[in-house]
Amino acid sequence: QVQLQESGPGLVKPSGTLSLTCAVSGGSISSTNWWSWVRQPPGKGLEWIGEIFHRGSPNYNPSLKSRVTMSMDKSKNHFSLKVTSVTAADTAFYYCARAGGYYGSAFGYWGQGILVTVSS
Amino acid sequence: QSALTQPASVSGSPGQSITISCTGTSNDVGGYNYVSWYQHHPGKAPKLMIYDVSNRPSGVSNRFSGSKSGNTASLTISGLQTEDEADYYCTSYTNDYYVFGTGTKVTVL
């Protein structure tokens, strides 16, 4: 059974960089699946941030593209997210998720989420 | 890309059926059969309920069904139960990009 687990600082200062990692267990990150980050600001809806495959370039939400970088570490079987120049608007629950396999483009597996607060 | 449009809230009594709409454009919902639906309790992991418009993952109750007509996808919950009370989101995948719906809060009266 594939499991995903987010980790990282729960508090980031304004103008700083948000950095999160998603550890994958029960499957290889080098498999034919796409790995995404999704976030939900308090009281708002879900927003897709971007996806990464083990080959090729990541795809990002155009609204965040200038501030987002995703990468993967195959040796540690995890992938990461960085968001630069954060503001209070980046305060949100951040989820990592997997698409591909039997469910095609749908997100069949999710992490439990991590709350990141941007505040001084 | 704008968010897909969903009603903010839908309610029903136990045993009733409700339908949640998800309206996009011909560039997303209408152009591809890559619509999925998620049940979400805030602060917890979303759960996949429907993928590729109308397919149900194993373990998801057959009370949940999905369909699409033109630029609008729909999720129907039949035999509504108290455990179905949650937020529901649609999403469409197109051109290496996902767009989520605005979300619908389902209340069981």
Beta strands in chain A (DSSP E): 3-7, 11-12, 18-25, 33-40, 47-52, 59-60, 68-73, 78-83, 92-100, 107-110, 114-118
- Do B35 and B68 contact (CB within 8 A), yes or no? yes
- Whether residue A107 and residue B3 make contact (CB cut-off 8 A), yes or no, is no
CA distance A21 to chain B (A): 16
Residue A3 CA to residue A111 CA, distance in Å, equals: 7
Residue B63 CA to residue B81 CA, distance in Å, equals: 10
Q: Is A5 on the interface with B (CB under 8 A)?
A: no
Nearest of A40, A10, A47, A11 to residue B99 by alpha carbon = A47
- Do B94 and B2 contact (CB within 8 A), yes or no? no
- Do A10 and A116 contact (CB within 8 A), yes or no? yes
Q: Is B83 on the interface with A (CB under 8 A)?
A: no
Instruction: Read off the tokens for A22.
Output: 């998603």
Q: Is B44 on the interface with A (CB under 8 A)?
A: yes
Between β-strands B104-108 and B9-12, what pairing exists: parallel, antiparallel or unpaired? parallel
- Do B87 and B106 contact (CB within 8 A), yes or no? yes
Mean pLDDT, chain A, integer:
95
CA distance A60 to chain B (A): 7
- Whether residue B89 and residue A46 make contact (CB cut-off 8 A), yes or no, is yes
CA distance B34 to chain A (A): 7
pLDDT greater than 80 at residue B1: no
Q: Is B96 on the interface with A (CB under 8 A)?
A: yes
Q: Dump pLDDT digits (tens) for A56-95.
A: 789 999 999 999 999 999 999 999 999 999 999 999 999 9
Chain A residue numbers with beta carbons less than 8 Å from the beta carbon of B89 are 45-46
Q: pLDDT grade, residue B2 (50/70/90)? A: confident
Q: Dump pLDDT digits (tens) for B23-67.
A: 999 999 999 999 999 999 988 899 999 999 999 999 999 999 999
Instruction: Read off the tokens for B30.
Output: 């209408």
Among A59, A95, A105, which would you mutate to test the B interface (most chain B Cβ atoms within 10 Å of its Cβ)? A105
Query: Which residue bears the tokens 């960085």?
Result: A82
